[in-house]
Amino acid sequence: MRLLLIRHGDPDYEHDCLTEKGVREAALLAERLKDEPIAAFYLSPLGRAQQTAQATLRRAGRTGETLPWLQEFAYPVRLPETGEEHLIWDHMPAFLEKHPALYSADDWLREPFIAQSGIPARYAAVCGKLDELLARHGYSRRGMHYAAERPNRDTLAFFCHFGLSGVLLSHLFHLSPVALLQHYAAAPTSVTTVYTEEREQGIAQFRCAGYGDVSHLYAAHEPPSFSARFCETFDSAGERH
């Protein structure tokens, strides 16, 4: 089975929709995906993901299923030193040096400021819903792997969000989502491709074959819109610090 985790186009977060650039990106994505043999489309309920998905669904003549748990994983925690509300990723390096457990697949949820928040319950809920969906498609969670009860080569497309995709990948790969979201950047309309690998009969693991692919943008000479999301050098005054 193949999973496509697709981030929405360039967002207008204030109005939960796409910018003009995001609309162009969504159209180019739709052209890329129009001939893909996708068995099912699953959509976040948020407007920016819905608008991105609709471009592809209209182009392919398909419909999708909206799943509430695919909304962005934008739940805050309170940082221990300052009490400031913050997401579980996008921390400064100095903060991460003080909290190395955030990089552990097993210990990040036990970090006191995480454990005392609503994150453990929300993380478990999202992971549980993912497992329910995969079971519908033939793969049931068994510890750190999946039982390939009905092995298949179907493709499932998820139109969702950067943070939420990191959470899903962390569950599939048994990694800390903090580590994934801190060190990977998925541009708007990027496609992350994950396959099942069944080297032992009946036992499937997931393997990432491509992260954050925006080749559909480069092919159309449309620059990716992630460059303003972080500063490559500290003296980049026009980029986010």
| Residue keyed to tokens 């006191």 | 112
Q: Which domain holds residue 31?
A: 7-225
Domain assignment of residue 148, yes or no: yes
Domain assignment of residue 1, yes or no: no
Domain assignment of residue 230, yes or no: no
Domain assignment of residue 241, yes or no: no
Bridge partners of 7, per DSSP, are 160
| pLDDT of the chain, 241 residues: tens digit per residue | 999 999 999 999 999 999 999 999 999 999 999 999 999 999 999 999 999 999 999 999 999 999 999 999 999 999 998 999 999 999 999 999 999 999 999 999 999 999 999 999 999 999 999 999 999 999 999 999 999 999 999 999 999 999 999 999 999 999 999 999 999 999 999 999 999 999 999 999 999 999 999 999 999 999 998 755 678 888 877 777 6
Domain assignment of residue 58, yes or no: yes
| Residue keyed to tokens 């319950």 | 121
Domain assignment of residue 232, yes or no: no
- Structure tokens that stand for 16 in this block: 């939960």
Domains in the chain, number: 1
Q: What is the pLDDT of residue 45?
A: 98
Question: Residue 208's domain is classified under what CATH number?
Answer: 3.40.50.1240
Domain assignment of residue 233, yes or no: no
Domain assignment of residue 237, yes or no: no
Q: What is the pLDDT of residue 240?
A: 73
Chain center to CA of 76: 17
Q: What is the pLDDT of residue 205?
A: 97
In this structure, are residues 105 and 80 in contact, taking their beta carbons and an 8 Å threshold? no
In this structure, are residues 28 and 222 in contact, taking their beta carbons and an 8 Å threshold? yes
Q: Over 111-180, what HEC string results?
A: CHHHHCCCHHHHHHHHHHHHHHHHHHCCEEEECCEEEECCCCCCEEEEEECHHHHHHHHHHHHCCCHHHH
